[in-house]
Chain A
Amino acid sequence: MSAPKKMSLPVLGEVDRRTAFKAAGATLGAAAFAKAMAPVVEWASHETSASEFLQKHFKELRPDELATVMSRLEDEARDEYGADVTIADYRPQKGVKFGYALNLSICIGCRKCAEACHKENNHDRVSGNSYIRVLEMDKGSLDLESGNAAYDHPVPQPDKFYMPVQCQQCERPPCVNVCPVEATWKEDDGVVVVDYNWCIGCRYCEAACPYHARRFNWTKPEVPAQEVNPNQGYLSNRIRPQGVVEKCTYCLHRTRTGRLPACLEACPTGARVFGNLLDPNSEISYVLRTKRVYVLKEELGTRPQFFYFFDT
């Protein structure tokens, strides 16, 4: 074996050539690593904070901690979107279980509901996101395969009927079961909610949902300041962070204070019926009692709390 070739280096002193190359390689590697990671550092310093990183699960937050979190989120909305918003935690009302029904005989497929949802829930303007997809269906078939959500022509077409689909707020929600971190759950009034500050963004719930009800924030939502809906719920329509899943909450920030969902108010034909399933005198109870009602994909056993009916 030949004697190792020696070199003189600062700090390290007299070293053989191989060690010198290794040191140079390691230095270069460390520099390249720092450079490669730079976008994460940039993101972390602008888009998140230590208090957000350490924030507990919604159900573990004490009332004062939740108040601090909500005021932090209000500050963020002001800083990042230039909007003055109020974020509150709307709790389910006692003795209330929400149900929603949609009259397929009179829906004309105008998508006003989807548009109202887009505005009410502070959806990303660029993607035109909404929790509602309206399917144009062939008369004579209830098979979703005959549906088309991308129609672009005057409505209603004579040989078609229209079926808006949104979260069915299932009694047995597969999306809740699959979540590995309990970031989504069903509340006492039947609404399935997401803690946007706990979701890890694995999208298993999106794979599990049979109704295409869930959406992922593929980017940070863009909403102009003047268009931000300032009346916000922590578990509903506050502007979502990038990288988490969201879904329809039956507008719980409205409905838990006695108002109706935005999609219902926007419907020009009165096709939508919303109310308390536990109240026998509610309109929704009347519909379920007297109309021919069905639910989507009943065979999957998810037991939707969103009903479709015909009255002609």
Chain B
Amino acid sequence: MDTAATRPASHAVTYPRFVWRAAKLATDGPWFFYAWMTLLTALCLVGLHSWATQVRDGMQVTGMSDHVSWGLYIANFTFMVGLAAGGVMMVIPAYLYHDDEMHEVVILGELLAIASIVMCLGFVMVDLGRPDRFWHLIPGVGRFNWPISMLTWDVIVLNGYLLLNLHITGYLLYKRFRGERPDKVWYLPFVYLSIAWAISIHTVTAFLYCGLGGRPFWNTALLAPRFLASAFVSGPAFIIIAMLIVRRVGGISISDAPIRTLTGIMRVTILISLLMVVSEVFTEFYTGGSHIASAQYLYFGLHGHNALVPWVWTSIGMMVVSAGLLMTPRVYNNKGMLIAACVLAFVGVWIEKGMGLIIPAFVPSTLHELIEYAPSLTEWKVTVGVWALGLLVLTVALRVAIPILTDQETVALTHGRRV
């Protein structure tokens, strides 16, 4: 693209046109785009209605109690923070190691980060007993208990990460739309900042839990590193699958190189992840004592209560099989094998970071009462709704980004046709 010869129109003209074309693209596409969007919208509405009912009738409609006061929502929130952070595994090769082929598609990772953060905020919102008072959390408007409350740090880093990625992707797409080369000053510092920021969102989220002395299951220095390691499994796994789908239906050519790079990253991170599980399990069970009650409950059941045992072993099984598949050299050439490894790793981390991390900290309770938790139908519906919202955001983002990236949409077009 070189339009330096013709002077570009002013931003006052091209920016509204950019927004207009984006809105147009977001609501236009082939039949399967409509079908997919309709499905997601319907699921969103189901979730919305369940959440609205929860607001009206109180959180008694969930499976949570004073003993297990966080459940499926916070479990998914934790997982989503990891997914958002995982996108950085594309940004690092692209910008720090100047991997040109990764650079071509790095925007997919950034768009995934945006969608994941939207889901994070959604899961926090649906977990609030009084969502009408969310404004108490806005710095300067409400009363922000910063810096002592880790939750205020999370509000800052999550929203900051959202803004960073919105800026980076928005700026790059807009420049491309105008047919200009992006000015490094306007995005490169933000990209480098976003790399550190991605690490911070997951570290802060781990600190949210591991800083609590009253919950021995969380109170371990391994929590933040373990969060990061598993995030760098689930993030790349999701992006690989997304790239394979987009390559097939999205009308953009993605070479095998970025997929190979991400597969290579997963080979390392999944092993680190598993090593940390082993380290955690050894420390708990070799030491023994009453502080391992939660781990006992999670892995083997405690006094006849074992709701999480099938979950956690499913997760470990999936992770181990996925690691085995990833270690096989053929995984680089065999797409079916790669997809299987990614799906297994993704679901495995979802269980481990979700139910496997949040629930056992509450079982047994701080007074050692054994009250179990199972999500209610309402919680499942709301959770599906938030996932659908995130996929909706991701689909729209990709729908807008791809034609612009492939130069099918530029400012030189009027009414969708080339002048």
Contacts and interface: CB of A to CB of B under 8 A. Distances in A.
A182 B148 CA distance: 10
A10 interface: no
B129 A201 contact: yes
A140 B144 CA distance: 46
A304 B58 CA distance: 32
B148 A177 contact: yes
Interface stretch (B149-157, B178-186, B341-349): B149-157
Interface in A175-234: 177-183, 198-204, 206-212, 214-220
Nearest to B148: A177
Given A206-B66, A216-B69, A301-B213, A40 B55 contact: yes
Interface string B210-221: 001111000000
A198 B137 CA distance: 10
Contacts of B14: none
B69 A203 contact: yes
How big is chain A's contact interface, by range?
35 or more
B56 A147 contact: no
A145 B368 contact: yes
A40 B52 contact: yes
A301 B214 CA distance: 10
A177 B152 CA distance: 11
B10 interface: no
B65 A182 contact: no
Contacts of A211: 214, 366-367
B288 interface: no
Contacts of B133: 53, 181, 198-201
Interface string B104-137: 0000000000000000000010011111111011
A178 B213 CA distance: 12
B366 A203 contact: no
Given A37-B52, A44-B132, A178 B367 contact: no
Most-contacted residue by chain A among B66, B70, B124 (CB, 10 A): B66
Nearest to A18: B28
Contacts of B418: none
B293 to A, nearest CB: 7
B65 A218 contact: yes
Contacts of B65: 218
B134 A182 contact: no
Contact of A144 (B53, B58, B149, B368): B368
Contacts of B46: 36
B396 to A, nearest CB: 14
Contacts of A202: 124, 127-129, 151
Given A180-B144, A216-B69, A36 B290 contact: no
Interface in B337-372: 361-362, 364-369
Most-contacted residue by chain A among B59, B150, B366 (CB, 10 A): B366
Most-contacted residue by chain A among B133, B150, B151, B290 (CB, 10 A): B133
A200 B48 contact: no
B137 A180 contact: yes
Given A133-B367, A206-B66, A145 B290 contact: yes
Nearest to A180: B151
Interface residues of B, number: 59
A42 B150 CA distance: 34
Nearest to B41: A29
Nearest to B214: A210
B129 A243 contact: yes
Contacts of A219: 57-60
Interface in B180-239: 208-209, 212-215
B408 interface: no
Given A147-B368, A180-B137, A301-B213, A242 B151 contact: no
Interface in B290-312: 290, 293
A61 interface: no
B56 A40 contact: yes
B392 to A, nearest CB: 12
A35 B45 CA distance: 9
A212 B366 contact: yes
A300 B56 contact: no
Most-contacted residue by chain B among A206, A214, A217 (CB, 10 A): A206
Given A147-B368, A182-B145, A43 B55 contact: yes
A259 B70 CA distance: 37
Most-contacted residue by chain A among B58, B64, B144 (CB, 10 A): B58
Given A33-B48, A40-B56, A242-B58, A180 B132 contact: no
B49 interface: yes
Contacts of B364: 145
B53 A215 contact: no
B11 interface: no
Contacts of B56: 39-40, 42-43
Contacts of A37: 48-49, 52
10 contacts: A38-B52, A39-B56, A180-B137, A181-B137, A201-B130, A203-B129, A207-B209, A207-B361, A216-B59, A297-B214
Nearest 5 A/B pairs, CB to CB: A201-B129, A210-B214, A243-B129, A219-B58, A180-B151
Interface of B: 27, 38, 41, 45-46, 48-49, 52-53, 55-60, 62, 64-67, 69-70, 124, 127-134, 136-137, 142-145, 148-152, 155, 208-209, 212-215, 290, 293, 361-362, 364-369
Interface of A: 22, 25, 29, 32-33, 35-40, 42-44, 48, 53, 57, 133, 135, 143-145, 147, 149-150, 165, 174, 177-183, 198-204, 206-212, 214-220, 241-245, 297, 300-302
